[in-house]
């Protein structure tokens, strides 16, 4: 299959471009590559477990722990032990994180608009639905290994 017909090629290209864009725009806030994703999840559901974050973001626990450590060191999150089970950490946004919420969403929304330039609302809806289905297919294929 030619590279320009590979779904993986285009998805990887979009991912790398998105990571580079967000890292550039958020560097002054000391939010590193990929760390914005954790904040976006926490803005929807503050106080979730580290394991839950890993599941939602489809990342391994070690990578999640490293990213959270950096966010914690930069004052954006705090982790609290579950008193009933000390193996579990729950992750909470700090005031510093809440203060940059609008700025973070503006960066992400502007990038989404850049990527979707020239697409109709129907195109955008269809694309999201197709990508969700592809993500579900990938999850099922990964589970069957």
For the stretch 31-64, pLDDT in tens is 998 899 999 999 999 999 999 999 999 999 999 9
77 half-sphere exposure, CB direction, 13 A CA radius: 32
Residues 105-127 have a mean pLDDT of 96
Residues 132-145 have a mean pLDDT of 88
Residue 115 has pLDDT above 90, yes or no: yes
Cα gap 48→17, rounded to integer Å: 29
Name the class of domain 31-99: mainly alpha
Q: What is the average pLDDT value for the chain, to the nearest integer?
A: 93
The answer, as to whether pTM is greater than 0.85, is yes
Q: Which of 96, 78, 80 is nearest to 88 (CA)?
A: 80
| Region(s) of the chain under CATH 1.10.10.10 | 31-99
């Amino acid at each position: 299959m030619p590279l320009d017909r590979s779904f993986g090629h285009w998805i990887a290209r979009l991912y790398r471009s998105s990571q580079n864009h967000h890292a550039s725009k958020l560097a002054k806030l000391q939010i590193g590559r990929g760390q914005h994703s954790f904040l976006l999840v926490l803005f929807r559901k503050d106080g979730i477990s580290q394991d839950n974050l890993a599941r939602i973001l489809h990342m391994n626990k070690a990578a999640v722990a490293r990213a959270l450590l950096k966010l914690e060191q930069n004052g954006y999150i705090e982790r609290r032990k579950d008193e009933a089970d000390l193996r579990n950490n729950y992750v909470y946004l700090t005031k510093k994180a809440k203060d940059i919420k609008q700025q973070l969403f503006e960066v992400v929304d502007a990038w989404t608009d850049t990527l979707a330039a020239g697409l109709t609302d129907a195109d955008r809806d269809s694309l999201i639905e197709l990508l969700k289905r592809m993500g579900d297919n990938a999850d099922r294929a990964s589970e069957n290994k």
